[in-house]
């Protein structure tokens, strides 16, 4: 008779500044599968506003290195994330199936799409400047050049329903141009995001570029939206989140002149977009500043 | 207390007609030894106190008013010093209720610039002297350095002790140097004497026992303040070292009735650290020391973090480095 193994359960923690701390508050919450059985999956760390603050600090200190890296180098690093994701494909299929209540073939499609999406965005890193930048025509002996630059620290409310494909579809466009992000995961489906942070930690992404916090969206989102050291916020996850009003979040973001990406749909009817559709560049463009320089033209 | 009063008090305490190396040694080595483990545990314990929001707000303002805003770089320019003075006078331009700092600490050739910039603000000018930071110069040079600072109008003089002499056991030499510097700090007539802060450079003293002895030796020689470090050596100020110095000033008041200030300098960067130090001051030395006249922080980057925390308390949202001045 084969000896029965003790189960080795995984502790899902936060991902801040390249480390995996527990929540500063010591709290955790139960995560259940989203199929009919509502089976208990794991305890996830319930992040607090101080975790958000620490994450923003880590993200801020990572900006200069990540934004200062060459676009080519960033592309290589992000592609490497795609490689490691591919290696962990089976794990993500199981986690997505459990978290979202999908059948295995459907979960496989979602994970494959997520990996492809990541690689798609990675490819854009050294092409953005050509597409979004410009050599402007001027009436004088000057070059006038507009070039896109990252805005800095981006707060991201990850989509509530799509725990992996939606997650990579909001993280990748923000960091590909050199921003760093603080991500609040889906409240009820946080587990794939934490496994994704393990992928980031083992694939050359500098510490602090991506910070991931699990917990109650309604508790944490206002702190992130009002944080004066956050330059932009993606409110994708405000759609269908319990007790969250994206309008209020946008208003508190306005106090510190943040760039805001609203969720799709209007008002209380905000909806999560269909992430399986091939995206355009609007999420990338939303987190860029345009620097325009004049340069004398010599002979 | 003037230099000569300090000397006669020293003679009284040591019960000798003139302090000698052996009389100072037997007195200093008669001090109880420091329990290293106990001292570190006590400091760690004091760092875990929870502080409520209203006390924190009070503590942050107190900490700001205790800062000796410091720039001690070879690259200091008059412009940089003036900028620092402006920051010290109005640390947060977006909130005029922010208290000013206690002093601006500069090299002594910048004292006049700082004095002119601080005119009418009530903020003191502190100058480092006696061949700061190493203290490796002849006594003539050290005293000339000090009298330069005093003549330029420094309100406070930060001197370094001769750590080499101290470690070699030549306590008399250290005593004499402090006492002589103290005499140079005196100003004729009604003008107040420059306050003498004695930097022990605890990072080079090796043991806690030495920190205790150096603290007592400095007070015996007439120090108005004892200061941990120059900020040029790591480790700079630590909680256990400051704890020992706070015990020393407390016991010194028991013995002589007079108060001596304490200034941890270097390595204190966050509001959390500053509040921990304030808890320690209150617990070890007593609330009488919770005053910019008796306790100072030697720091530059600490002010930025205190201002961020202050903004957080005022606005209810987290603030960022874009909202405080750099340098």
Please report the DSSP string for A223-261 in residue order.
HHHH-TT--EEE-GGGTT-TT--HHHHHHHHHTTT-EEE
The reported pLDDT for the residue numbered B170 is: 94
Is B7 assigned a catalytic role?
no
The reported pLDDT for the residue numbered A10 is: 86
The answer to whether B236 touches B229, Cβ cutoff 8 Å, is yes
- Of the candidates B214, B186, B203, B197, the residue with the CA atom closest to the CA atom of residue B68: B197
| Chain segment B279-326, per-residue pLDDT in tens | 999 999 999 999 999 999 998 889 999 999 999 999 999 999 889 987
The reported pLDDT for the residue numbered A8 is: 86
Q: Does A60 touch chain B (CB under 8 A)?
A: yes
CB contacts of A53 in chain B (<8 Å) are: 318
**CA nearest A53 in B: which residue?**
B318
Q: Mean pLDDT of all residues in chain A? A: 94
| Residue A172 predicted with pLDDT over 90 | yes
Tokens for B252, please give them.
């010194």
CA B274 to chain A, closest CA, distance in angstroms equals 19
- Of the candidates B299, B303, B306, B307, the residue with the CA atom closest to the CA atom of residue B323: B307
- Of the candidates B249, B169, B216, B213, the residue with the CA atom closest to the CA atom of residue B34: B213
Q: From the candidates B7, B182, B263, B273, which is the catalytic residue?
A: B263
DSSP state of B302: H
Q: From the candidates B92, B227, B273, B305, which is the catalytic residue?
A: B227
CB contacts of A48 in chain B (<8 Å) are: none
| Residue B42 predicted with pLDDT over 90 | yes
C-alpha dihedral sign at A72, A78, A80, A82: negative
Q: Does A252 touch chain B (CB under 8 A)?
A: yes
| Chain segment B128-147, per-residue pLDDT in tens | 999 999 999 999 999 999 99
**CA nearest A224 in B: which residue?**
B318
Domain layout of chain B by residue ranges: 3-315
Q: Is A269 exposed, middle or buried (0-12, 13-18, 19+ CB in 10 A)?
A: exposed
B126 falls in which pLDDT band (50, 70, 90)? very high
Residues above pLDDT 70, as percent of chain B: 99
Q: Does A227 touch chain B (CB under 8 A)?
A: yes
The reported pLDDT for the residue numbered B283 is: 95
The reported pLDDT for the residue numbered B1 is: 63
CA angle B256, B128, B175 (to 5 degrees): 40
CA distances from B228 to A225, B43, B219 (A): 42, 16, 13
Q: From the candidates B158, B162, B193, B224, which is the catalytic residue?
A: B158
Q: Is B80 exposed, middle or buried (0-12, 13-18, 19+ CB in 10 A)?
A: middle
The reported pLDDT for the residue numbered A266 is: 66
Helix (H, G, I), strand (E, B) or coil at B160: strand
| Chain segment B313-322, per-residue pLDDT in tens | 999 999 998 8
| Chain segment B45-101, per-residue pLDDT in tens | 999 999 999 999 999 999 999 999 999 999 999 999 999 999 999 999 999 999 999
| Chain segment A119-141, per-residue pLDDT in tens | 999 999 999 999 999 999 999 99
| Chain segment A199-228, per-residue pLDDT in tens | 999 999 999 999 999 999 999 999 999 999
Residues above pLDDT 90, as percent of chain A: 86
CA distance B11 to B269: 41
**CA nearest A152 in B: which residue?**
B322
**Of the partner residues A53, A226, A229, the one whose CB lies closest to the CB of residue B321:** A229
| Chain segment A16-42, per-residue pLDDT in tens | 999 999 999 999 999 998 877 888 999
The reported pLDDT for the residue numbered A270 is: 82
CB contacts of B318 in chain A (<8 Å) are: 49, 52-53, 56, 223, 226-229
Please tell me the least confidently modeled range out of A295-299, B47-51, B124-128. A295-299
Q: Does the beta-carbon distance from B317 to A255 stay under 8 Å?
A: yes
Average pLDDT over residues A180-198: 96
More confident residue, A11 or B2: A11
Please tell me the least confidently modeled range out of A241-245, B109-113, B215-219. A241-245
In this prediction the ipTM stands at 0.85
**CA nearest B309 in A: which residue?**
A53
The reported pLDDT for the residue numbered A267 is: 63
Average pLDDT over residues B28-39: 95
Is B52 assigned a catalytic role?
no
Q: Does the beta-carbon distance from B319 to A229 stay under 8 Å?
A: yes
| Residue B7 predicted with pLDDT over 90 | no
**CA nearest B319 in A: which residue?**
A228
The reported pLDDT for the residue numbered B128 is: 95
Superfamily of domain B3-315: Aldolase class I (3.20.20.70)
Pick the residue of A228, A231, A249, A254 with the most B CBs within 10 A to test the interface with B by mutation. Answer: A228
C-alpha dihedral sign at B152, B158, B159, B160: negative
Average pLDDT over residues B150-158: 94
CB contacts of B320 in chain A (<8 Å) are: 56, 60, 227-230
| Chain segment A49-69, per-residue pLDDT in tens | 999 999 999 999 999 999 999
Helix count and strand count (H, E) for chain A: 10, 10
| Chain segment B245-281, per-residue pLDDT in tens | 999 999 999 999 999 999 999 989 999 999 999 999 9
**Of the partner residues A49, A228, A252, the one whose CB lies closest to the CB of residue B319:** A228
> Which residues are CB-contacts of A225 (< 8 A; sequence separation ≥ 6)?
A155, A233, A249, A250, A252, A253, A258
Q: Does A57 touch chain B (CB under 8 A)?
A: no
Q: Mean pLDDT of all residues in chain B? A: 93
Query: Domains in chain A and their CATH numbers?
Result: 28-296 (3.40.605.10)
Is B162 assigned a catalytic role?
no
Q: Does the beta-carbon distance from B320 to A229 stay under 8 Å?
A: yes
- Which conformational region is residue B181 in: left (phi greater than 0), alpha (psi within -120 to 50 degrees), or beta? alpha
Q: Is the peptide bond before B235 cis (omega within 30 degrees of 0)?
A: yes
């Amino acid at each position: 008779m084969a000896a029965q193994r003790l189960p080795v359960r995984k502790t899902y923690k936060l991902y801040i500044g390249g480390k995996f701390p527990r929540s500063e508050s010591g709290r955790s919450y139960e995560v259940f599968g989203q199929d009919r059985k509502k089976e208990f999956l794991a305890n996830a760390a319930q992040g607090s506003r101080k975790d958000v603050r620490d994450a923003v600090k880590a993200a801020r200190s990572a900006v200069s290195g990540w934004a200062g890296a060459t676009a080519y180098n960033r592309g290589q690093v992000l592609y490497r994330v795609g490689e490691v994701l591919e290696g962990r494909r089976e794990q993500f299929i199981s986690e997505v199936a459990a978290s979202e209540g999908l059948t295995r073939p459907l979960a496989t499609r979602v994970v494959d799409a997520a990996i492809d999406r990541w690689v798609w965005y990675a490819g854009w890193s050294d092409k953005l400047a050509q597409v979004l930048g410009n050599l402007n025509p001027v009436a004088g002996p000057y070059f006038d050049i507009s070039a896109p630059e990252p805005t800095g620290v981006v707060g991201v409310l990850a989509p509530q329903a799509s725990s992996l494909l939606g997650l990579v579809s909001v993280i990748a466009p923000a960091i590909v141009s050199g921003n760093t992000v603080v991500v609040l995961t889906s409240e009820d489906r946080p587990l794939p995001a934490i496994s994704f942070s393990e992928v980031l930690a083992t694939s050359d992404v500098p510490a602090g570029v991506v910070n991931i916090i699990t917990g109650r969206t309604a508790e944490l989102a206002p702190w992130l939206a009002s944080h004066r050291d956050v330059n932009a916020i993606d409110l994708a996850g405000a759609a269908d989140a319990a007790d969250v009003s994206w309008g209020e979040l946008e208003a508190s973001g306005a106090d510190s002149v943040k760039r805001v990406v609203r969720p799709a749909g209007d008002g209380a009817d905000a909806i999560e977009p269909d992430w399986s559709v091939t995206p355009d560049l609007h999420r990338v463009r939303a987190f860029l500043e345009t620097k325009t320089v004049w340069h004398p033209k010599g002979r | 207390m003037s230099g000569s009063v300090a000397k006669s008090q020293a003679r009284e305490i040591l019960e000798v007609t003139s302090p000698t190396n052996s009389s100072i040694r037997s007195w200093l080595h008669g001090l109880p030894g420091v329990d290293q483990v106990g001292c570190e545990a006590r400091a760690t314990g004091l760092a875990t106190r929870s502080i409520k929001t209203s006390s924190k707000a009070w503590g942050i303002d107190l900490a700001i008013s205790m800062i000796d805003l410091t720039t001690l770089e070879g690259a200091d320019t008059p412009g940089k010093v003036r900028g620092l003075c402006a920051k010290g006078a109005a640390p947060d331009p977006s909130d005029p209720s922010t208290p000013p700092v206690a002093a601006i600490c500069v090299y002594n050739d910048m004292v006049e610039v700082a004095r002119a910039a601080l005119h009418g603000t009530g903020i003191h000018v502190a100058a480092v002297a006696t061949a700061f930071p190493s203290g490796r110069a002849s006594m003539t040079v050290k005293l000339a350095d000090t009298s330069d600072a005093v003549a330029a109008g420094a309100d406070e003089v930060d001197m370094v002790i001769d750590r080499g002499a101290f470690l070699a056991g030549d306590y008399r030499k250290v005593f004499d140097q402090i006492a002589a510097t103290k005499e140079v700090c005196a100003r004729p007539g009604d003008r107040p004497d420059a306050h003498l802060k004695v930097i022990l450079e605890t990072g080079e003293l090796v043991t806690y026992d030495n920190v205790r002895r150096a603290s007592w030796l400095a007070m015996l020689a007439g120090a108005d303040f004892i200061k941990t470090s120059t900020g040029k050596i790591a480790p700079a100020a630590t909680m256990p070292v400051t704890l020992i110095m706070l015990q020393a000033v407390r016991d010194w008041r028991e013995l002589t009735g007079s108060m001596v200030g304490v200034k941890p300098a270097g390595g204190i960067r966050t509001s959390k650290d500053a509040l921990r130090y304030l808890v320690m001051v209150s617990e070890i030395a007593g609330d009488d020391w919770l005053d910019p006249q008796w306790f100072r922080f030697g720091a530059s980057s600490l002010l930025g973090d205190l201002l961020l925390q202050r903004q957080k308390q005022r606005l209810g949202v987290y603030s960022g480095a874009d909202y405080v001045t750099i340098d």
